[in-house]
Structure 1
Amino acid sequence: MTRDVLVPDDTVWTVAEAERFALIIDAADYFRLAKAAMVKARRRVLLVGWDFDARIELEPEGQTVEGPNRVGAFFDWLAKTRPDLEVRILKWDIGILRSLGRGETPAYVLHWLWPRGIDFRLDSAHPTTSAHHMKILVVDDKLAFCGGIDMTMGRWDTREHREERHGRRSPRGKPMPPWHDVTSCVSGPAARALARLAADRWRWATDEVLGPVDVAEDPWPAGLEPDFHGIALGIARTLPRYEDRAPVSEILAATYAMIRRAERCLYIESQYLAARRICEALAERLSEPAGPEIVIINPETADGWLEAKAMDTARVRMLRLLKEADVHGRLRIYYPVTARGTPIYVHAKIMFADDVALKVGSANLNNRSMGYDSECDLVLDAGADPDLRAQVRTVRDGLVAEHVGVPAAEVTAALERANGSLINAIQALNMGGRPHLVPLEPRELSLAEELFAESDAADPIRPVGLRRLIRSLLRRAPVRRLRRRRAATGRSS
């Protein structure tokens, strides 16, 4: 049974017109375009993020936009050269520990906390261990960027993901791995709605109410061609329960709706694959005799030791679930690599249901993104409009083309030859000697890994206290259950 994708107060918070809506693939373009938009700002720049690194360069391989190139110096310059401009930055408070861990000195961090024309705040308005994961940049309430890219270390890359790029280095010169990411840019009422959401985040964190601003100038960056004009765009959120704020799970509802909506194909790019409820919905579609193909693009492994322990072990269990349900052979899960075989880290969070619905934002397919962290996704429903559906296909085919190292037109042609089967089109185009996709297979888990995956300590669906988190890790029931399962299958620990 299909379900409408844009339902206010259900699958989305609100629906608003986007005068222009553009998908921006990979951070090299995003950093440059965001800088160009902020240069045009007159009244307010509001950046809400999970992470933020003042040391990185926005254009590390050659500057094309005026103003200093390092993020911190650029925001300083904006504030000093435009006295009427409000520059406000809101960063997840626990993320400050990541800043120190990756090499930002305490003096450097304190420099950013000291008021001097930039209002930089740390956001602690969240449950214990919850993350503020939205990534929103608003310029004069007329333009907003929303997606999965943070202005931080290791994100910069181009769509070619070539080896040994000079620009893909840490502030201290360390080479960084190839990185695939997606964000978006909107204007019109949809941008004003995102501005209201960002202002809400600011108010929750600071108790300060930001009124709307109105300017005549258009900050849309030159060179950014919109993919869509004059469309209805839904804004979906995840917000955990906190103090007197009720929980919000619009992104979960929108994801369900898109899974049910698909007839031919679900194409998903996500950093994680760990949300059991979502995977059960996917498994249900796989079990249908005439259900859709499902193509999922993940990274080879999660970024960071703890993430790998938590998300990779959970992913193994979800892979087992999906493969068991794939009785009709309609599932493919890949990770992308360069022509040399270097894994490309997938940080994108984007989903397509056929050529009808598109969802892009900050939410991963894990429990945290569906109920525990704060997230924001944009949702488009093309309906029966042939022009809109053709443009949705163009965006999707371009993403697939990036992963198999061919022009987007070749993906479109391969789909036509394959009678619309994305799996067969990828199989026909996927080959070594250029960027390509590698099948992701589940591996065996140790008893300790199975136990960690059984607990909800690292990836909870709802806010919990520290006491419950500790109990979740130490509880004995999963241990007994896993030992019985291993004894039954003859596997050792």
Structure 2
Amino acid sequence: MSASASIFQQGENCWVSSKASYAAPLIDCANYYKALHSSIVKAKHSIFIVGWDIDSRIRLIRGEDEANSEAPSVISELLAWKAEQNPELKIYLLRWDSSLAFFAQREMWAKEVWDENTPDNVETVLDDTIPMGGSQHQKIVIIDDEVVYSGGMDVSTNRWDTRDHPVESEERDGPDGEYGPLHDVQAVYSGPLVKEFAELVRWRWLRVAESNPINFREDAKIKLEDGIPDAWPDDYEPWFENVDCALARTIPFMDEVEPVQEVRNMLLDLINQAERVIYIENQFTSRQEIAEALNKRLKTCPDLNVIVVSSYEPKGRFECEAFWASRIEFKKILFKDIDPDRVIMTYSSITDEQGRSAYKRIHSKVMTIDEKYLVIGSSNLSNRSMTLDTEIDTVYYGNDEHNSAQIARVRDDLLAEHSGRDVEATAVLLKKDNPARALMTGQLAHGYVLTQVNDEIFTDPSSDNLFRSLSDPEEPLIAMPTMDGSSMPVRNPRRRTIMVGLGVLIIAILGGLMFWASQAIPWLSADSINAFLEESRGTYFALPTVLLVYLVGGILFFPVTVLSIAVAAVFGPIWGPIYGILGALLSSATMFGVGKLLGNAGLKKIGGPKVDAVDQKLKSSGIVGVAAIRMLPIAPFSLVNLVAGISSIGLFQFLMGTFLGMFPPMIAKGLVGDSITQIFRNPSPETISYLAGGIILWGLMIWGSQKFARWYQERKQNKAKAEECVA
């Protein structure tokens, strides 16, 4: 085969056509992350990572690889380690500034986390230029301008898995616990193609960042004769050599950038080249145009078989009603007037010898056309991937006998994994007259097997589906008219904008509830509270009544100053402060407990690294810090209690700081407040001396409590240091 025989047409179905000196598929995430770790460790010049997500918590290597590595396994620690080792190394992280729909799945304060945990030569930028409803879906890593990783995988949660996909695995541990088997495909390249990827990621960086990225290396080893570059990952031999490649993109209309639908055009052109076997594995198959093209080609070529592998169980209502309902239509169009032995739409599942079952989640985006073409990319067979998201697919052309055989090897290897066979046996089946039917027969029990999808058990197709219009749109969800009569897509709101908006909304709701309570609840007023306390004065119920008032008042965010003055006025300068501090401590402990529950439920995640920083300061300052906050209140009493519960400070420290910070002011309110009242009623040397004595006592108690708090904190820290030295 000659390179000129390929269908690549720059500006039509691809952005550029080029060559990869070497290329290798990386099947499933354990292989990709291990290879990526190896290349990062070798980096000397620059690292670019562009992704739908770049999660700082991800461990790239596990098991023996992790135990034997001198480099950190967690990606944020690894990049920080590399950046500190080599201050000249430049690292650029470009992550999608995701929409509200993915808040639960991703680090909420990703940029702040990366900025906090890495040196200055690591730059992080969030891409907020995508139209509303779309996403930044390209997944690209470039090491030293010599090695590129691209395909379907992000450095993200719930991605890691090995090729054997065990039913259960302790290593498949995500934010919500263990997740099921997951399959994906990435690829690594070197050679001239790297320069095209480098141009793409720098273009994306310049669109959103305030700084210019480092220039492309003039001495980069990207010529065909340069051999395997230094940053090529250990343990991964190239499959392809000097293979013709094309890059096809999807770019939506954004900020006056002309939209590009090269992926869509390429896939349609590739389907029209098929003669014997089209193999597709894809996360979603919802684009009806693709189904129509496949059906047309099946009718044109009687010997053609189509094999599709995707997922089984939908994740959530949106995925079910958008993509699974659309897949019913896709299958109906694909099978129309076609011999069912020539077409299969399947999922891969297992029931092991212990009777445990699992369905393999397919996240990859792969297509092969006979032994002529191979696609490994980021694009799903969905509406959004063809028009609205940013995508990048690499298309290989079998330009010689070796590379053609490697395309068949990739297909056979993937199908072997999904159907529980070895590669050689799968290759034999693919050469039969009816390879689709052959794959479905003779599968072994207790291993992975292919089964025809039956999506009707989950949902049914709908001609007017709201979920589909939101989850799999072709156009931006919102567009604004411009002066020239056209329209401009509205961007997805920034994460920071969403968080600020949520914060304002929560404060408004709390404020509204407090105002409503003060107006609608007759007994929630200073006069009513005074009257309620008066009835208990002189009875055995005095203290329980005060405690109840503080407890209810704290829950309703009632001002603690009003409560303290009311208690001092009713019970006098001695018992008033005593009852008041006991009530304040009970209220503080209660709201502290509520904060602890809420913090464990996720408020720490919402707060992000800035809250973590405040948390550490509060924890380190301990009693002194709490006492200072109580003496000079900077936030409502109940809010401080909640935040303290979310923080890492201990309950004893918090209550001791609260006591030392609040008791002196309460005594002042009892003595000074009562003295001022008496001066107005009956001015005399006695009442004036009470006032002076109260002010002096207040100052002495503030000074004494601060001294005690500092002494206690220093004693605790010195004890901790002594224990550390002994250890």
**What TM-score, normalized by structure 2, do the two folds share?**
0.60
Distance of 1:345 and 1:204 partners within structure 2: 34
Distance of 1:313 and 1:378 partners within structure 2: 29
Distance of 2:469 and 2:437 partners within structure 1: 37
Distance of 1:78 and 1:91 partners within structure 2: 20
SS at structure 1 position matched to 2:44: coil
Query: Cα deviations across residues 48-101 of structure 1 (Å, max 9, x unaligned)?
Result: 000121112112334154311112211221221211111110100016873x52
2:191 corresponds in structure 1 to: 188
Q: Which residue of 237, 251, 271 corresponds with 1:225? A: 237
2:381 corresponds in structure 1 to: 365
For 1:62-101, what aligned pairs fall within 5 Å after superposition? 62=64, 63=66, 64-94=68-98, 98=102, 100-101=103-104
CA contact (8 A) 2:20 2:190 kept: yes
Q: Which residue of 380, 394, 400 corresponds with 1:378? A: 394
Query: Cα deviations across residues 215-247 of structure 1 (Å, max 9, x unaligned)?
Result: 576200111111101111111110001122111
Q: Which residue of 384, 405, 410 corresponds with 1:390? A: 405
CA contact (8 A) 2:329 2:461 kept: no
1:329–1:360 Cα change, 3 Å: same
CA contact (8 A) 2:275 2:304 kept: yes
The question of 1:322 aligning with 2:334 is answered: yes
SS at structure 1 position matched to 2:25: strand
CA contact (8 A) 1:285 1:291 kept: no
Q: Which residue of 152, 155, 160 corresponds with 1:151? A: 155
Q: Please report how far the alpha carbon of residue 104 of structure 1 lies from its aligned counterpart in structure 2 after TM superposition.
A: 4.1
Q: Please report how far the alpha carbon of residue 329 of structure 1 lies from its aligned counterpart in structure 2 after TM superposition.
A: 3.9
1:279 corresponds in structure 2 to: 291
1:175 corresponds in structure 2 to: 178
Query: Cα deviations across residues 86-125 of structure 1 (Å, max 9, x unaligned)?
Result: 1110100016873x5247465x762324573220110012
1:14–1:289 Cα change, 3 Å: closer
CA contact (8 A) 1:10 1:253 kept: yes
Distance of 1:270 and 1:304 partners within structure 2: 18
SS at structure 2 position matched to 1:24: strand
CA contact (8 A) 1:238 1:376 kept: yes
Higher relative contact order (Cα pairs below 8 Å, separated by 6+ residues):
1
1:336–1:44 Cα change, 3 Å: same
1:145–1:448 Cα change, 3 Å: closer
1:481 corresponds in structure 2 to: none
Q: Please report how far the alpha carbon of residue 4 of structure 1 lies from its aligned counterpart in structure 2 after TM superposition.
A: 4.6
Gaps of 5+ in 2: 222-228, 482-727
Q: Please report how far the alpha carbon of residue 304 of structure 1 lies from its aligned counterpart in structure 2 after TM superposition.
A: 4.0
Report the residue type matching 1:408 in the other structure.
Answer: V
1:59 corresponds in structure 2 to: 61
CA contact (8 A) 1:11 1:236 kept: yes
Distance of 1:126 and 1:319 partners within structure 2: 31
Q: Please report how far the alpha carbon of residue 323 of structure 1 lies from its aligned counterpart in structure 2 after TM superposition.
A: 2.4
The question of 1:337 aligning with 2:346 is answered: no
Query: Cα deviations across residues 339-366 of structure 1 (Å, max 9, x unaligned)?
Result: 4341000001000011111111100000
Q: Please report how far the alpha carbon of residue 376 of structure 1 lies from its aligned counterpart in structure 2 after TM superposition.
A: 0.4
Query: Cα deviations across residues 412-470 of structure 1 (Å, max 9, x unaligned)?
Result: 23334x24x321331234232211111102417868955317963321223341689xx
Query: Cα deviations across residues 4-38 of structure 1 (Å, max 9, x unaligned)?
Result: 53221111111112110101100001001001001
SS at structure 2 position matched to 1:306: helix
Q: Which residue of 408, 413, 416 corresponds with 2:423? A: 408
2:164 corresponds in structure 1 to: 160
Which structure dedicates a bigger proportion of its chain to helix?
A: 2
The number of residues matched between the two structures is 460
> 202-211 or 334-343: which moved more?
202-211
The question of 1:293 aligning with 2:305 is answered: yes
Distance of 1:32 and 1:283 partners within structure 2: 40
Distance of 2:11 and 2:29 partners within structure 1: 32
Distance of 2:241 and 2:111 partners within structure 1: 41
Distance of 2:188 and 2:442 partners within structure 1: 30
CA contact (8 A) 2:313 2:359 kept: no
1:24–1:455 Cα change, 3 Å: closer
Identity of aligned residues (%): 28
1:478 corresponds in structure 2 to: none
Q: Please report how far the alpha carbon of residue 157 of structure 1 lies from its aligned counterpart in structure 2 after TM superposition.
A: 0.6
CA contact (8 A) 1:351 1:360 kept: yes
Distance of 2:100 and 2:47 partners within structure 1: 21
Query: Cα deviations across residues 393-417 of structure 1 (Å, max 9, x unaligned)?
Result: 111100010011121011123334x
1:147–1:448 Cα change, 3 Å: closer
Report the residue type matching 1:158 in the other structure.
Answer: T
Which structure dedicates a bigger proportion of its chain to strand?
A: 1
SS at structure 1 position matched to 2:237: coil
1:354 corresponds in structure 2 to: 370
1:77–1:71 Cα change, 3 Å: same
CA contact (8 A) 2:275 2:301 kept: no
Distance of 1:76 and 1:466 partners within structure 2: 40
Report the residue type matching 1:32 in the other structure.
Answer: K
Q: Which residue of 4, 7, 11 corresponds with 1:5? A: 7
2:717 corresponds in structure 1 to: none
1:300–1:206 Cα change, 3 Å: same
Gaps of 5+ in 1: 469-493
For 1:102-141, what aligned pairs fall within 5 Å after superposition? 102=105, 104=107, 106=109, 110-114=112-116, 116-117=119-120, 118-141=122-145
CA contact (8 A) 1:256 1:278 kept: yes
CA contact (8 A) 1:286 1:328 kept: no
1:490 corresponds in structure 2 to: none
1:232–1:343 Cα change, 3 Å: same
Distance of 1:96 and 1:78 partners within structure 2: 33
Report the residue type matching 1:406 in the other structure.
Answer: R
Distance of 2:184 and 2:460 partners within structure 1: 33
Distance of 1:368 and 1:378 partners within structure 2: 18
Distance of 1:96 and 1:445 partners within structure 2: 26
The question of 1:27 aligning with 2:29 is answered: yes
SS at structure 1 position matched to 2:247: strand
Distance of 2:459 and 2:427 partners within structure 1: 42
1:484 corresponds in structure 2 to: none
Q: Which residue of 404, 426, 431 corresponds with 2:439? A: 426
Q: Please report how far the alpha carbon of residue 190 of structure 1 lies from its aligned counterpart in structure 2 after TM superposition.
A: 0.7
> 121-130 or 304-313: which moved more?
304-313
1:480 corresponds in structure 2 to: none
CA contact (8 A) 2:277 2:370 kept: yes
Larger radius of gyration: 2
1:271–1:59 Cα change, 3 Å: same
1:444–1:301 Cα change, 3 Å: closer
Query: Cα deviations across residues 136-186 of structure 1 (Å, max 9, x unaligned)?
Result: 0000110000000011111111110012222211257x2111000001000
Distance of 1:380 and 1:149 partners within structure 2: 18
Report the residue type matching 1:8 in the other structure.
Answer: Q
1:103–1:373 Cα change, 3 Å: closer
Distance of 2:230 and 2:156 partners within structure 1: 27
CA contact (8 A) 1:50 1:132 kept: yes
Report the residue type matching 1:430 in the other structure.
Answer: Q
1:61–1:165 Cα change, 3 Å: farther
Distance of 2:182 and 2:316 partners within structure 1: 14
1:473 corresponds in structure 2 to: none
Q: Which residue of 6, 17, 20 corresponds with 1:18? A: 20
Report the residue type matching 1:52 in the other structure.
Answer: I
Distance of 1:429 and 1:220 partners within structure 2: 40
SS at structure 1 position matched to 2:322: helix
Distance of 2:29 and 2:69 partners within structure 1: 15
